[in-house]
Amino acid sequence: MTTIRHYIAGEETGDAARTAPVYDPATGEAAKQVVLADAAQVEQAIAAAKAALPAWRATGLVRRADVFFRLRQLLVERKDELAAIITSEHGKVLSDAAGEISRGLENVEFAAGLVHLLKGEHSEQVARGVDVHSVKQPVGVVAAITPFNFPLMVPLWMTASAIACGNTVVLKPSEKDPSAAVAIAKLYEEAGLPAGVLNVVQGDKVAVDTLLDSPDVRAVSFVGSTPVARSIYERASAAGKRVQALGGAKNHMVVMPDADLEGAADAAVSAAYGSAGERCMAVSVLVAVGEATADALVTKVAERMRALVIGPGTDPASEMGPLITREHRDKVASYVAGAAAEGATVVVDGTEAEFAGDGFFLGTSLVDHVRPGMKVYDEEIFGPVLSVVRVASYEEAVALINANPFANGTAIFTRDGRTARSFEVDIEVGMVGVNVPIPVPIGAYSFGGWRNSLFGDSHIYGPESVHFYTRSKVVTSRWPEPSESQIDLGFPSNH
């Protein structure tokens, strides 16, 4: 059986005293196992990052940028190999895995512009003979704790920005699909990154708690569920660390009566069921404005759902693969099973779909007449279940979304520019799409939600990541003439 280990200071390491199975979701078989770190192994990774920090921080910006240019090329060259690793442990179809790599590449490209991104400011002659300038300096050793649903993209989002800013990193990937993180670390070093700048520690809560409590870890980036994000934010910030913790989502897609309903139905199916719904930006609630709109949409979405091909991610014919674990599949299925009892209408029941073998497959589900207060609406399902909420007006749709505790992403489908612009202004959500169902920003912007979808004040990747992974220092300087008096007991003034 293949054993996936830690990657510390340029070497794979870690005994198998404590392990967890790594499943192929398409077959249900545990073909691999991953070593779970104890506190001492995590401290070893932190020590390696701390030791590598002075030299990497002192590395010239152009030299750092060269690493990212080479890393980008390696990611492009190894795209098929990396996609296969993702599919084998996550289950998503190969085309989706390739798309994940492409989105990760965007932040690598952004990080390659670090010479520009790390520029400070300068003000000359703020007072007679006095100049002021600012600089951006790395925070130190940072921890990156990443989720199972994007085992390559999210690590690239975090590590590229952190490393470009001169920090060193301890990456703790999900133990459900851990191989991609080690592959990334090796590609970084092949691109020229010194050993120890990026370390991978495999593990569970033991590893996370050690990272959160270590005084040598100065900042923590996390993506996962809201309860865990809140806990990590509270624990790490109480220890004086800088924290960005991205939590869960309940993304609504509003469809106005004037929208292109064929296009809206296509978008809803793509955004709800891609990657088996295991995306924090997946559309999970379709908000139909008007009964006629709702009736037409439900019919059109159901027609498209029945044509979807569900199968192993390695099969080119498959459009959707299995879920990550058997337990998660069963939990998602329970929401569908309980929806009717709460008063909803199960239009398409994916739990009735039958699949050969022991893979963690689940059919797609469509649930109509859903309302707040129902479990299928209130909770993040993170699976191939789309709920339909019927509202009478634009105002009711906005009020519904703004009242939801999650505020990661949302979208509106309309042909009317005034309605679209009003939505941009009125909606209280971090990422907004206009006729775009999954509004994930390009790498030059930043990703993140509001309310219970984000704990901390910085979004991930892009410009806000530069702010998160650096500390600003302001220097005021004066070079007096040799004969000038240096004694002044008054309060410093720029006048």
Q: Which residues are catalytic?
A: 280
d(CA 224, CA 3): 25
In terms of Cα–Cα distance, which of 485, 424, 461, 456 is closest to 156?
Answer: 461
Q: Which residues pair with 213 in a beta bridge?
A: none
d(CA 222, CA 158): 9
Structure token digits, residue 405: 């505790």
Assign 414 to helix, strand or coil. Answer: coil
Assign 201 to helix, strand or coil. Answer: coil
Structure token digits, residue 487: 């004694």
Assign 380 to helix, strand or coil. Answer: coil
d(CA 64, CA 242): 24
Asked if residues 294 and 397 have their Cβ atoms less than 8 Å apart, the reply is no
**Torsion angle in degrees (nearest 10) through CA of 37, 42, 44, 48:** 130
Q: Where are the beta strands (DSSP E) in 9-52?
A: 11-13, 19-24, 29-35
Assign 354 to helix, strand or coil. Answer: coil
d(CA 256, CA 106): 32
* Other residues' Cβ atoms within 10 Å of the Cβ of residue 123: 12
Asked if residues 62 and 115 have their Cβ atoms less than 8 Å apart, the reply is yes
In terms of Cα–Cα distance, which of 343, 381, 341, 342 is closest to 365?
Answer: 381
* Other residues' Cβ atoms within 10 Å of the Cβ of residue 230: 14
d(CA 120, CA 471): 11
Structure token digits, residue 33: 């196992």
In terms of Cα–Cα distance, which of 121, 120, 122 is closest to 136?
Answer: 120
Which residues contact residue 354 at a Cβ distance below 8 angstroms, ignoring those fewer than 6 apart? none
